[in-house]
Amino acid sequence: MEQAAPLPVEQHRARQSLPHPLRHPAPRHRPRLAASVPPRLHDRPQPDPPPHQTHRSPADRSRKAEEPMTPDPPSTRANKNRNTVIYTTMAAGVIGTAFLLFAPTREDQALKERQAIATEGRPVLGDRSKGQPVVVFLDYACPACAEFEKQMPAIKRELIDTGKMHLIVLHSPFISETSTRAAQAAECVHRESPNRFWAYHQALFTAQGDEKQDWATPELLRRLAGTAGVNLNRYDTCLAKGESTAAVQADLQEHKNVRMLGTPTVFVNGYRTPAGGQDILDALNKHATTATRSTP
């Protein structure tokens, strides 16, 4: 077998001058670098470190320690004190905000506690002697309440007509004057023609306008009452004498007493429950063992 011709002296010396492959192994699956490759990163000249990172000799550090410290001028000290106050105030604000965000609210507490709600004389859908009491606070100007009302046919068919619950309505007119006017009209209908209340109740939600507009005019409310078959003479007398005002305000105060203000708010057997048909059914099953009858 023929042997390879020896390399010229210059090439032999050049190969000997290359770094040892074990000291600087080349990456896998890459061609071997030529001798003219640019200097490696750690061979390149490094920039001077910034002044605050410069290493001083022990003698320099000793001389620096012996130099007297020059006090800050009054303006500099004032700026430092002002910055300290600002940062302290900011930190206190952040801590306070975090406390407000994560501290339990009154509504959180109301979600866990059973509430005693006065329902005597309030409109009831279903038989008070059957099933658990479900109380709902409503505002006739509330769009979410109108959405809840759309679930009522299924709730009545599946839960009320089957004796699992009875529904009690309390007024919570907090959005605007329109809310109060509609609630007072509905209360007059309930007082003068109890059997017509639910037809009027549904008509109000059907006629609901934008919550920012005064859609519940006295003329509209009276016309809806007439359409529902209400005795308009007694209806007019009730409104003129303000006979429904106290009842509406009592309902609103009852809503505040349970530490909630927002509609619709549903309580199943005294426990706060999301305003949904399935949520109400789940709560009925959960609280069946502690069910109590509402005040007749």
Identify the structural domains of the chain with CATH numbers, from first to last. Answer: 118-283 (3.40.30.10)
pLDDT, averaged in runs of 10, over the chain (296 residues): 50 46 40 44 50 48 53 59 62 53 49 86 94 96 95 95 96 93 97 94 95 93 96 95 95 89 90 92 84 44
| SS3 annotation, the chain | CCCCCCCCHHHHHHHHHCCCCCCCCCCCCCCCCCCCCCCCHHHCCCCCCCHHHCCCCHHHHHHHHHCCCCCCCHHHHHHHHHHHHHHHHHHHHHHHHHHHHHCCCHHHHHHHCCCCCCCCCCCEECCCCCCEEEEEEECCCCHHHHHHHCCHHHHHHHHHCCCCEEEEEEECCCCCHHHHHHHHHHHHHHHHCHHHHHHHHHHHHHCCCCCCCCCCCHHHHHHHHHHCCCCHHHHHHHHHHCCCHHHHHHHHHHHHHCCCCCCCEEEECCEEECCCHHHHHHHHHHCHHHCCCCCC
Please tell me the predicted confidence (pLDDT) of residue 163. 95
**What global pTM score does this model have?**
0.62
Please tell me the predicted confidence (pLDDT) of residue 278. 93
Task: Render pLDDT for 172-207 as a digit per residue (tens, 0 to 9).
Answer: 999 999 999 999 999 999 999 899 999 999 999 999
Please tell me the predicted confidence (pLDDT) of residue 13. 46
